[in-house]
Amino acid sequence: MKKLKIDKKIIFERMKIIEIHVGRLEEIRELSKAKFAFPDNFAIAAYNLRSALEATFDICAHILSRIPGAQIDEYKKMALEMGRQKVIPNDFAEENLYEMAGYRNRLTHFYFEVSAKEMHKIIQNNLDDFRVFLKHIKKFVE
């Protein structure tokens, strides 16, 4: 791929945001299911998860905006395009990043349907997806 004019400062700032919010989620995931379900704990988790997801897709949007013909404004399509453009492995894009895009949309547009049980499960099982994403982005940018 031709050398892209990526603004590394933007990428690294968003990567730091992801690391901060995932770190907070790791602390929250230590709570029991019952304590996690307290409204304030659930709200804190939702905020941190949504912030990490927003930063993830800010990175995707920035990178794709620099690739001719790859500009996409829908998060799930953006996830798939990241794989097609070989920014991240296609299997990770199609499975993990695509699911992350769907959950970002759910937290943003259908927040009233998201249950504490559902979010607790995601925080218990899926935070490593952020680390994998960051690893691939770091490799791509360097």
pLDDT per residue as tens digits for the range 15-63 = 999 999 999 999 999 999 999 999 999 999 999 999 999 999 999 999 9
DSSP states along the chain:
-PPP---HHHHHHHHHHHHHHHHHHHHHTTS-HHHHTSHHHHHHHHHHHHHHHHHHHHHHHHHHHTSTT----SHHHHHHHHHHTTSS-HHHIIIIIHHHHHHHHHHHHSGGG--HHHHHHHHHHSTHHHHHHHHHHHHHH-
Q: Does residue 3 lie in a domain region?
A: no
Using pLDDT thresholds of 50, 70 and 90, give the confidence band for residue 111. confident
Model pLDDT, residue 3: 67
Q: Is residue 106 part of a domain?
A: yes
Half-sphere exposure of 16 (CA within 13 A, CB side): 6
Number of domains in the chain: 1
Asked if residue 1 is part of any domain, the answer here is no
pLDDT tens-digit readout, 48-60: 999 999 999 999 9
In-domain check, residue 43: yes
Give the domain extent around 22.
8-141
pLDDT-based confidence at 105, cuts 50/70/90?
Answer: confident
Question: 40: domain CATH number?
Answer: 1.20.120.580
- Taking the model in full, what pTM does it have? 0.93
